[in-house]
Amino acid sequence: MTRKILTVVGARPQFIKAAAVSRAIRETDGLDEVMIHTGQHFDADMSDVFFDELDIPPPAYRLDIHGGGHGDMTGRMLSAIEPVLLSEKPDWVVVYGDTNSTLAGSLAAAKLHIPIAHVEAGLRSFNRRMPEEINRVLTDHVAALQFCPTAQAVENLEAEGIRTGVHHVGDVMYDATMFAAKRAKDRSTIIADMSLAPKHYALATVHRAENTDDPAALRAVIDYLNNEAKKFPIVLPLHPRTRHAAEKFGIQLDRLRVIGPVGYLDMATLLGGAAAVYTDSGGLQKEAYFHRVPCTTLRDETEWVETVTHGWNRLWKGADFAARREIGEYGDGRAAHKIAEIVKAA
């Protein structure tokens, strides 16, 4: 009997994670996948490029929902996902991470009594002002299977009373990094195209609402990066949200090497050659470690606490780097296959 998995994605980090799991699903007998793309991220360089580069089959459903407030966007997604679930009748709904698409997919499935598997479960910033924190807490509480990337994530769930269906499988982002590193070798030319000298530049990304919604906060981050740019050139692939915010607030970015958002293979190449990373992204903090590049996180807290305790990451306003140790808990690059096997057996 074949099990039908319905995957809900919508934002950049979800395409990257789903690419790894989708590949594992295709390599596992007895599983079939149908994908919904909510449209939360829709620009070619925030969406299509990941489908092309990472061999994700075209989604069966494109809902084209983006913009508006959080409630408006999530509500529209919820009512658009429900009829798809009713007609597809999947055995499982698989959601990723912590975006509005994650929450909408989870709520739609929970109300129809379709079991949910949450990939990247159990992460907590303990900052409820982050929209992502609300999305991940609620999703974890309606999911039947919790795929945790770290031991800390398992502990976080336990502290909230979630003890069944919890699996520490490792981090699918590590699977994605290994895939991209191989593929980028002969497909990405960004280092030469930008005339960068390996290990003599840094890579930065900024897009969290806490850094972009408030002019003083964004100015503080850009001032910090401008100052760091005295040490080495800083390449900043700019998220559309940050570009709009900088334009709106009249914040100049001319001391940084600003480019548009890049595809995952260029990102892997840029990371591989970087001397340092500055970011408020969740994914990038770990990818920096996967490439053994020190990271400074442009936030007041992080969900990926082991990157800090093991000396690969620090908070920009916090203590210096701790002594460096390897991090064992992200797995062996087979997290996605473990997920596919567990869903199949569940």
Q: What angle do CA 171, 132, 59 make, to 5 degrees?
A: 65
Helix axes 172-184, 264-273, angle to 10 degrees: 90
Would you say 31 or 307 has its CB closer to ligand UDP?
307
Q: How far is the CB of 88 from ligand UDP (least distance, A)?
A: 27
Q: Which amino acid is at 304?
A: W
Contact 182, 25 (CB under 8 A): no
Contacts of 253-259 with CB under 8 Å at 24 or more apart are 253/222, 255/225, 255/226, 255/229, 256/204, 256/222, 256/225, 256/226, 256/229, 257/194, 257/201, 257/233, 259/194, 259/235
Residue 279 beta carbon to ligand UDP: minimum distance, rounded to whole angstroms:
7
Catalytic-labelled residue, pool 37, 66, 168, 207: 207
The least distance separating ligand UDP from the CB of residue 42, rounded to whole angstroms, comes to 14
What is the amino acid identity at position 37? Answer: H
Query: Which one, 152 or 281, has the nearer CB to ligand UDP?
Result: 281
CB of 287 to ligand UDP, least distance (A): 5
| Closest CB to ligand UDP among residues 114, 119 | 119
Residue placing its CB nearer to ligand UDP in the complex, 85 or 235: 235
Binding site for ligand UDP (CB under 6 A): 12-13, 16, 97, 205, 207, 237, 261-262, 264, 267, 281-284, 287
Alpha helix positions (H), the chain: 12-26, 48-53, 70-88, 100-111, 131-142, 151-159, 172-184, 190-193, 209-212, 215-228, 240-249, 264-273, 282-290, 305-309, 335-345
| 291, 202 Cβ separation under 8 angstroms | no
Active site residue 207: yes
- Residue closer to ligand UDP, measured from CB, 261 or 273: 261
- CB 311 → ligand UDP: shortest distance, Å? 21
Where in the sequence numbering do the catalytic residues fall? Answer: 207
